[in-house]
């Protein structure tokens, strides 16, 4: 089992392995949806990586994962943990099928809007007095934003922000006149930044040519180059196409790029690399340095966003900029320099932890 540690440790995504029990890691976390989400994402990543692991002297290594959330007691000397939560996680692992994740009802309540889950009903677990309702995680839900994930139900009326809404509407009117606008909405979590930003959608209803694009930064991908841009493009170009069908995705990418003003020969290999689409064997390899790839990709993405405004005015909302990776911040900086005469309102929401000066 020691050989599996590097695979596990690479999937932690800012989390922490607090204890090992019989050779496998256990995440010990508070009752937090962020930490529970990290645990599930790590579990999905472990399963995916083990599926591609090639061993000359062993068959496929299957893994069963159980995740529970609650209080535990951690010994400071050896970091060993004890408590009902540890027992529940161990028992959930025991009823999981190979290469699956089973979670407790508490974890499911925290994250049912972020992950697709299959109801496995109630189980009587050894050492647990009452039957427990358990769920199997089947995948990550494709939601465009954390706001959408947190507000699946209808929203109540938005009150007490008349001055801020008026400022937002004035910036939108300036953008409609061809004077590109940048507006940042900063503050602590939960004060209504995303809700305020979405009030501009009411203005878009009056213009059939208006468009809206959202880029959602993620605390789990702060070092993944251009993550929010790539995720939005995948959703826009591929929809629900299977990720394993590279031929289908390559054809869809070609069709998309032909609908834009971007040069197909230059953009196709760069966008394929950005979106993790394997090119056909007949396609030549990219003969560029990594720096050249970065600069060319940035140039094409900026052009793609500017071109949208030629068809009609629009809003680009970048959520949670404090989690943006360096490449995304660099892209936004260059986009701001280019959008001054475009009919675009760029909205940026962030927490006070953002440490990046945007262009004036």
The tokens describing 80, both together, are 């060993």
Q: Are 133 and 122 in contact (CB under 8 A)?
A: yes
Which is nearest to 115 in space by CA: 38, 63, 46? 38
pLDDT per residue as tens digits for the range 277-311:
988 888 877 788 999 999 999 999 999 999 988 88
Find the range with the poorest average confidence among 41-45, 239-243, 282-286, 329-333: 239-243
Which is nearest to 250 in space by CA: 266, 236, 238? 238
Residue ranges and CATH numbers for the domains of the chain are 2-140 (3.30.70.1230), 146-350 (3.40.50)
Q: Which residue has the tokens 């004036």?
A: 360
Secondary structure letter of residue 136 according to DSSP: E
Which is nearest to 5 in space by CA: 37, 48, 44, 46? 46
The tokens describing 137, both together, are 């995680």
Q: How do beta strands 211-216 and 100-104 pair?
A: unpaired
Q: Which residues contact 245 (CB under 8 A, 6 or more apart)?
A: none
- Asked if pLDDT for residue 50 goes beyond 70, the answer is yes
pLDDT per residue as tens digits for the range 62-86:
888 988 887 777 666 656 667 788 8
What is the distance between the alpha carbons of residues 312 and 208, in angstroms, rounded to a whole number?
Answer: 9
Which is nearest to 103 in space by CA: 132, 139, 135? 135
- Asked if pLDDT for residue 262 goes beyond 80, the answer is yes
The tokens describing 44, both together, are 């999905």
Which is nearest to 297 in space by CA: 347, 348, 323, 335? 335
């Amino acid at each position: 089992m020691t050989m599996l540690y590097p695979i596990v440790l690479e999937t932690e995504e800012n989390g922490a392995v607090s204890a090992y029990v019989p050779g496998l890691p256990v995440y010990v976390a508070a009752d937090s949806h962020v930490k529970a989400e990290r645990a599930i994402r790590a579990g999905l990543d472990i399963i995916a990586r083990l599926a591609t692991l090639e061993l000359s002297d062993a068959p496929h290594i299957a893994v069963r994962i159980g995740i529970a959330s609650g209080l535990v007691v951690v010994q400071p000397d050896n970091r060993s943990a004890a408590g009902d939560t540890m027992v529940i996680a161990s028992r959930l692992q025991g009823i999981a099928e190979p290469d699956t994740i089973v979670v407790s009802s508490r974890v499911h309540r925290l994250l049912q809007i972020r992950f697709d889950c299959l109801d496995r009903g109630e189980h009587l677990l050894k050492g647990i007095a009452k039957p427990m309702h358990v769920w199997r995680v089947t995948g990550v839900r494709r939601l465009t934003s954390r706001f959408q994930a947190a507000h699946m139900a209808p929203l109540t009326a938005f009150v007490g922000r008349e001055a801020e809404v008026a400022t937002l509407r004035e910036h939108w009117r300036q953008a409609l006149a061809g004077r590109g606008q940048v507006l940042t909405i900063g503050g602590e979590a939960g004060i209504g930044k995303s809700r305020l930003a979405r009030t501009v959608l009411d203005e878009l209803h009056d213009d059939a040519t208006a468009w809206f694009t959202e880029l959602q930064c993620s605390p789990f991908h702060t070092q993944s180059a251009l993550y929010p841009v790539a995720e939005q493009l995948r959703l826009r170009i591929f929809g629900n196409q299977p990720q394993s069908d590279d031929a289908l995705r390559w054809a869809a990418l070609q069709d998309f790029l032909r609908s834009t003003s971007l040069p197909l020969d230059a953009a196709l290999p760069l966008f394929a690399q950005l979106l993790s689409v394997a090119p056909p064997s007949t396609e030549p390899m990219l003969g560029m340095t990594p720096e050249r790839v970065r600069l060319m990709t940035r140039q094409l993405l900026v052009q793609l966003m500017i071109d949208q405004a030629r068809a009609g005015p629009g809003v680009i909302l970048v959520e949670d900029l404090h989690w943006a990776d360096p490449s995304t911040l660099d892209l936004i900086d260059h986009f701001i320099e280019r959008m001054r005469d475009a009919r675009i309102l760029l909205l940026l929401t962030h927490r006070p932890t953002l440490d990046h000066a945007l262009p004036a």
